[in-house]
Structure 1
Amino acid sequence: MIPDFRTLMRPVLALLADGSVRRSRDAKDAMADEFGLTEAERSELLPSGRQRTIDNRVGWSLTYLSQAGLVARPNRGHVVITDDGRAALTANPDRVDMKTLEAYPAYLDFRDRTREKTASIVPPAQDGPVEATPSDLVEQALSTNRAPVEGDVLQAALALSRTGFEDLVIRLLERMGYGKAGSVERTSASGDAGVDGIISQDPLWLDRIYVQAKRYAEDRTIDRPRIHEFAGALLGKQGDRGVFITTSRFSSGAVQEAERINARIELIDGRRLAELLVAYVVGVQVDQTVTLYRLDEDFFESL
């Protein structure tokens, strides 16, 4: 029987216990061996037909362990145990599951993000139970999927080089439709102080938006002085619009500074950045699509 992703959590951690960096692919094959899956079970596909069931479940197990900080992804397609992961193995000799992960603040933050995304989909019961429609259930599943993917894509962004992160931001802005009539380009390599990119909204470069992209640790806070500096860079270029994008967060003072100054500066923190990357399919792949059907009453009335 193919184990669920919760059951796989501790065996996956145990596999990584020696500290070696392993390919995710190898971890999936190792779990198939660990649980003695038959050839039929190893070959079983998800309903979409695009991925093996065991690969999907090990993948989700790694995602949740990563969100709690028990494993890290040092580079694409590879995983390694962290110090917290080793401690979790020692403290939980029988099983590591969602209850175990609740001891880690990073997981609690992730869980809260997931709940925020699903809370508004099915309204609470008033006079009786509320039945979720198929559309509700699909949207709930999509929201539950989106939160861990957003966490993964933010971690991937943090692992990029400075220039790699700037390129990621430029790619996102292009996908969002900016610079369609003009261009979007990275400028930091040319030593353009205080500005990492320029969006030209028209071919003559008359309508410009300036971009600052900073790859900082998630727990770092960008304060008022950094926004003031960016505003000064805009002033030096006679610009009045800018966007400050970071993997970290902004303090209330930074937000107030952005609202106070004459130039219009949009602030995008790590959480919002991850949401945008997933929404505009930058750095993620579409796994499967779902089609819902309903009765075509007009068709039957025309017969």
Structure 2
Amino acid sequence: KKDTDIKDLINSFSSSTNDIPSTKKIIITFLNVIKDRKPYTSSYITDELTKLFNLTEEQRSRSYENSKDSIFITRIRSARYSLKNSNYIEEISQATYQITSMGLDLLDDNQKEMEEELEDIEEVIDPFEIMSEKSGELRKELAQSLLQQIKKAHWRKLEYIIVELLMAMGYGDGKITGKTNDGGIDGVIKEDKLGLDNIYLQAKRWDNSIGRELVQSFSGALDDMGAKKGVFITTSHFTKNAIDYADRLQSKKIILIDGERLAKLMIDYDIG
């Protein structure tokens, strides 16, 4: 039997889309860890795989979004199930595995034959990866739908939304200001019960980009109110000059929220 270089095998397979090894890489490396035909526990195999892939503690423990499940451990489980299902390994006792004759034969194959056989292995589709991918697609579609609905609605709807949103985010009680004599202020959030510290809001339901002039005008409105905090929200986007201007402000803080971020926050806080 030829001596297989595990490191070369790892590098020979295509990499995953991130820095955590794919299930395909794990399958062959898994077999190499136990190729001496001795029984090994799943914890030992996991530790050996971590060393062979030279993973950091962060990479090993990194989890899926909105889940505590480790990506690496989940992929090991998928690889283990595929190997067991294809009779390349057997579980001789609880969480203890041993390579089979078929597994040894697979390791004895050349690179091309090995890859061809791997294609035939029934791999488990990682449910967390599928959920994460589909969740991202759904969020994107929902965000686009939300923005379209806002743009079609009465202009005042956006003002109510931004006040609801800031309140849902925990910034205090809020209200819509009257359109007359508001100085460009569409809403106000009272961060404390007495209104000693307020956040002033402006909403623009636009398709065109928001430039520096409009942000500067909002800044002037804050000065007239003696305010130090403002949030400017639009259904479109801000120009680079507008963003740079807001970032350079020293005497006050203006947060700019474009349509994409607005929609994401609405989804996150169940608004609209």
Q: What is the TM-score when the length of structure 2 is the normalising length? A: 0.54
Pair 1:127–1:282, CA change in 2 (3 A): closer
> What is the count of residue pairs matched by the alignment?
158
In 2, Cα distance between the equivalents of 1:122 and 1:138?
16
Cα deviation for residue 253 of structure 1 reads 0.3
Counterpart position of 1:191: 181
Write the letter of the residue equivalent to 2:233. Answer: I
Counterpart position of 1:163: 156
Q: Is the 8 A contact 1:195 1:210 kept in 2?
A: yes
SS in 1 for 2:141: helix
Aligned match of 2:228 in 215, 228, 240?
240
Q: Does 1:229 align with 2:217?
A: yes
Pair 1:276–1:127, CA change in 2 (3 A): closer
Q: Does 1:251 align with 2:239?
A: yes
Cα deviation for residue 135 of structure 1 reads 2.1
Gaps of 5+ in 2: 1-15, 26-74, 76-124
Gaps of 5+ in 1: 1-120, 284-303
Cα deviation for residue 190 of structure 1 reads 4.7
In 1, Cα distance between the equivalents of 2:221 and 2:192?
21
Query: What is the CA deviation profile of residues 116-157 of structure 1, one whole-angstrom value per residue up to 9, with x for unaligned ones?
Result: xxxxx9637768736563222222221121111110001001
Q: Is the 8 A contact 1:172 1:282 kept in 2?
A: yes
Q: Which has the larger radius of gyration?
A: 2
Q: Does 1:201 align with 2:194?
A: no
% same residue: 35
Query: What is the CA deviation profile of residues 227-282 of structure 1, one whole-angstrom value per residue up to 9, with x for unaligned ones?
Result: 11111111111111100000011000000110112211000001111111111111
Q: Is the 8 A contact 1:122 1:136 kept in 2?
A: no
In 2, Cα distance between the equivalents of 1:226 and 1:281?
29
SS in 1 for 2:182: coil
In 2, Cα distance between the equivalents of 1:271 and 1:257?
20
Counterpart position of 1:123: 18
SS in 2 for 1:250: coil
Counterpart position of 1:281: 270
In 1, Cα distance between the equivalents of 2:258 and 2:204?
10
Q: Is the 8 A contact 2:246 2:255 kept in 1?
A: yes
Cα deviation for residue 225 of structure 1 reads 0.8
Q: Is the 8 A contact 2:167 2:189 kept in 1?
A: no
Aligned match of 1:141 in 121, 126, 134?
134
Pair 1:122–1:177, CA change in 2 (3 A): farther
Task: Describe how 1:1-303 pairs up with structure 2 within 5 A.
Answer: 123=18, 129=24, 131=75, 133-179=126-172, 183-217=173-207, 220-262=208-250, 263-283=252-272
Pair 1:257–1:265, CA change in 2 (3 A): same
Write the letter of the residue equivalent to 1:215. Answer: R
Query: What is the CA deviation profile of residues 166-222 of structure 1, one whole-angstrom value per residue up to 9, with x for unaligned ones?
Result: 11211222222221xxx20111435311111111011111111110011001xx111
Q: Aligned-pair RMSD on alpha carbons?
A: 2.1
Q: What is the TM-score when the length of structure 1 is the normalising length? A: 0.49
Pair 1:213–1:133, CA change in 2 (3 A): same
Counterpart position of 2:88: none
Cα deviation for residue 161 of structure 1 reads 1.3
Query: What is the CA deviation profile of residues 5-44 of structure 1, one whole-angstrom value per residue up to 9, with x for unaligned ones?
Result: xxxxxxxxxxxxxxxxxxxxxxxxxxxxxxxxxxxxxxxx
SS in 2 for 1:170: helix
